[in-house]
Amino acid sequence: DLGAEQRAQRKTATVALFDGMRPGEAAGIMDNLGDDLVLELLADMDPTQAARIITALGNDQRKATLIEKFLTSKK
């Protein structure tokens, strides 16, 4: 499926973009994205960078929610 292949390529490129950003900059963008999308991106990122981004998120309650969802997800 060409559409699925293109989506996978875009996701890979987006993950690489976030992996290369400063954690605070990436968190600023992720603060405006939905939890499911953020979790999907974080799952494919470098674990150290993902942890730094979660730490840099602006809302402590959202940090806790994302961590809980991340740890309980099946992926």
Dump pLDDT digits (tens) for 23-33: 999 999 999 99
Mean pLDDT of 46-70: 93
> Residue 74: what pLDDT?
64
> Residue 1: what pLDDT?
72
Residue range 64-75, pLDDT digits in tens: 999 999 888 865
Q: What percent of the chain has pLDDT over 70?
A: 97
Rounded to the nearest 5 degrees, what angle is found at the Cα of 27, between the Cα atoms of 39 and 62?
60
Average predicted confidence (pLDDT) for the chain: 92
